[in-house]
Chain A
Amino acid sequence: LTPPLRKFALTAHVTSSIGWIGAAVVFLALAVIGLTSRDEQTVRGAYLVMEPAAWFVLVPLAFASLLTGLVMSLGTMWGLFRHFWVLFKLLINLFATIVLLIYMETFSLMASVAGDRTVDLAMVRNASPMLHAVLAILLLLVATVLAVYKPRGLTPYGWRKQQITKA
């Protein structure tokens, strides 16, 4: 990548990745509201809004983070499989994105339950979104720490590549 393009890709990657963490924090707040609020409309509203909000915010940010991360790693000297920190970030991003896509069905189910006035409020409340949001935040924070500190460590593939470059 040329320096201006690299900076653009880096800006997009940082923005989408940190935005994803922020969105996950908002979902954690929604999940806590859904579990603790005494107001029925607020509880039902929290679960109803999760699905569209996830489609409009979480999913695009997850894919933007993954895509820009791929561009950044493949377009720079870091590579995708050369350094352990890059590899871990890729695995975290892939795992979080796959779980999110699988979980979209749950968002839909919870929304349909919350929208059904005949269903008791106790059945509408669900701890699952809170646990998923906490796990997502922790995973994404680990990825952020790896990106900032860039801890040393070449993968066997990266080590071989380096030996070839030196030779």
Chain B
Amino acid sequence: MSSSEAATPRWVKVLGIIGIVVVLVFVILHLTGGPMRHGV
């Protein structure tokens, strides 16, 4: 396998960044009691 094949593909980096952002936004919204709050 060449080194380019062993490198992390671009889609992984993009999806990884989006995933981290989604999780962070989700956690922050829950902690701050935003519209995604669990309590009623």
Contact with B along A113-131 (1 / 0, CB 8 A): 1000000000100111001
Contacts A128-B36, A128-B38 hold; do A135 and B11 have CB atoms under 8 A apart?
A: no
Instruction: Assess whether A105 is in contact with B9, with CB atoms less than 8 Å apart.
Output: no
Could you give 7 example pairs across A and B, Cβ below 8 Å?
A: A95-B23, A106-B39, A113-B40, A123-B40, A128-B38, A135-B22, A154-B1
Instruction: Assess whether B39 is in contact with A109, with CB atoms less than 8 Å apart.
Output: yes
Interface residues of B (CB under 8 A from A): 1, 5-6, 8-9, 11-12, 15, 19, 22-23, 26, 35-40
- The residue on A at minimum CB distance from B36 is A131
Most-contacted residue by chain A among B8, B11, B23 (CB, 10 A): B11
Instruction: Assess whether A106 is in contact with B1, with CB atoms less than 8 Å apart.
Output: no
- Across the interface, which residues of A come within 8 angstroms of B12, CB to CB? 84, 88, 153
Instruction: Assess whether B40 is in contact with A91, with CB atoms less than 8 Å apart.
Output: no
- Across the interface, which residues of B come within 8 angstroms of A128, CB to CB? 35-38
- The residue on B at minimum CB distance from A91 is B19
> Per a CB cutoff under 8 Å, which of A95, A106, A123, A154 touches B38?
A106
